[in-house]
Amino acid sequence: MEFQSRTQAIQISGIRKFSELVSQYPNALSLTIGQPHLPTPEHIRIAAQRAIGEGDTGYTPNRGTLALREAAATYYRRLIGIDYDPATEMLVTVGATHALDIAMRTLLQPGDEVIIPAPAYPGYEGIVKLLGAEVVYVDTRQDGLLLTEDALRQAITPRTRMVILASPVNPTGVVYPRERLQALAEVLADTKVWVISDEIYCELQFAGSPTSISLLPGMRDRTIVIHGLSKSHSMTGWRIGFAFAPANVSAEMAKVVQYGVSCASSVSQRAALAALREGADDARPMRELYQHNRDVVVALFAAMDIPLVRPDGAFYAFPALADALGDTSEHIAHRLLAEAGVAVVPGDAFSPFGEGYVRLSYACDPDVLREALRRIEAFVAHAGRA
Q: Which residues bind ligand PLP (CB under 6 A)?
A: 34, 95-97, 121, 123, 166, 170, 198, 200, 228, 230, 236, 241
CB of 68 to ligand PLP, least distance (A): 15
Q: What is the DSSP secondary structure assignment for residue 307, as one 8-state letter?
A: -
Residue type, 162: M
Task: Tell the smallest beta-carbon distance from residue 4 to ligand PLP (Å).
Answer: 28
Q: Considering beta carbons, is residue 240 or 324 the nearer one to ligand PLP?
A: 240
Question: Which residue number has the CB closest to ligand PLP?
Answer: 95
Smallest separation (angstroms) from ligand PLP to the CB of 241? 5
DSSP 264: S
Which of 152/166 has CB closer to ligand PLP? 166
Q: Count Cβ neighbours within 10 Å for each residue of 321-346 and write b for 16 or more, e otherwise.
A: bbbbbebbbbebbbebbeebbbbbbb
R_g of the chain, CA atoms, integer Å: 21
- Which one, 193 or 345, has the nearer CB to ligand PLP? 345
CB of 339 to ligand PLP, least distance (A): 28
HSE-CB at 271 with a 13 A cutoff on CA atoms is 27
Rank residues 121 and 357 by Cβ distance to ligand PLP and give the closer one. 121
| Residues with Cβ within 8 Å of residue 50, at least 6 apart in sequence | 270
Q: Which CB atom, from 127 or from 372, has the smaller least distance to ligand PLP?
A: 127
Closer to ligand PLP by CB, 257 or 380: give it. 257
Letter string b/e over residues 356-383, b meaning 16 or more CB atoms within 10 A of that residue's CB: bbbbbbbbbeeeebeebbebbeebbeeb
Q: In whole angstroms, what separates CA 263 from the centre of its chain? A: 22
Least distance to ligand PLP from the beta carbon of 173, Å?
Answer: 11
**Residues written for the chain:** 386
Q: How far is the CB of 226 from ligand PLP (least distance, A)?
A: 7
Kindly give, in sequence order, each residue whose CB lies less than 8 Å from that of residue 138, ignoring residues fewer than 6 positions away: 115, 116, 117, 118, 147, 151, 152, 155
Candidates 353, 303, 352, 355; CA nearest to 329 is 355
**Beta carbon of residue 229, minimum distance to ligand PLP (angstroms, whole number):** 7
Q: Which is nearer to ligand PLP, 269 or 325 (CB)?
A: 269
